[in-house]
Amino acid sequence: MRPPLEFFFDYGSPYSYLADSRLPQLAERTGVAIRYRPMLLGGVFKATGNRSPALEPIDAKRNYGGLALRRAAQAHGTPFNGNPHFPINTLMLMRTAIAAQHQGVFEVYHQTIYPAFWIDGLNLGDEAVLADALAGAGLDSARLAALRSRDAVKNDLRRNTEEAVARGVFGAPSFFLGDELFFGADHLVFVERALA
């Protein structure tokens, strides 16, 4: 039986957003199941010594990275406006993703957060802004807020992050087919070749 494609992601990663926009078509073409693995990218960076491309100290390289991101979004027809609040601490968002998985509403949560972050440019590090976005999607934001403070949710996010690092993840998006790591939205083409 074919293993699922594990998708380790953080909502604060714009390339994770671009990759996510292509996953439904990949699943449709190949029949692979997608397993969503929320992780805390800041925790990955801390554990590995890596850093966000947004913190690149060479101005020209950082600026080109932004241009490359916009080009990639345009090439794949993915709406992308950026976010004036980027980068934000995504701990609350990622804990709420785990809470949504526990509650069985992850699909709606997931389909709400990426557009709110990367198209609408909302400050999702603000609890009130997040609550409004979730309520607008018909989710019980108070219930999810209560769940995300539980130890079971915190521990699951910590475990996902630690597992990612132990398996060789250093950034997002990261994908696994079995034990094979694929890093970056641009490497989905290699994922598809491996699936073929």
Q: CATH number for the domain including 188? A: 3.40.30.10
Residues in contact with 132: Cβ distance below 8 Å, sequence separation at least 6, in sequence order: 141
Under the banding of pLDDT at 50, 70 and 90, the label for residue 57 is: confident
**Which residue, 64, 80, 65, 102, is CA-closest to 20?**
80
Q: For the residues 61-66, what does the mean pLDDT come to?
A: 89
Q: Are 143 and 90 in contact (CB under 8 A)?
A: no
Q: pLDDT per residue over 134-166, tens digit each?
A: 999 999 999 999 999 999 999 999 999 999 999
pTM: 0.95
- Domain tally, the chain: 1
Cα separation of the two ends of the chain: 14
Q: For the residues 124-129, what does the mean pLDDT come to?
A: 97
DSSP assignment of 92-139 equals: HHHHHHHHHHHHT-HHHHHHHHHHHHHTS---TTSHHHHHHHHHHTT-
Domain that holds residue 180: 5-195
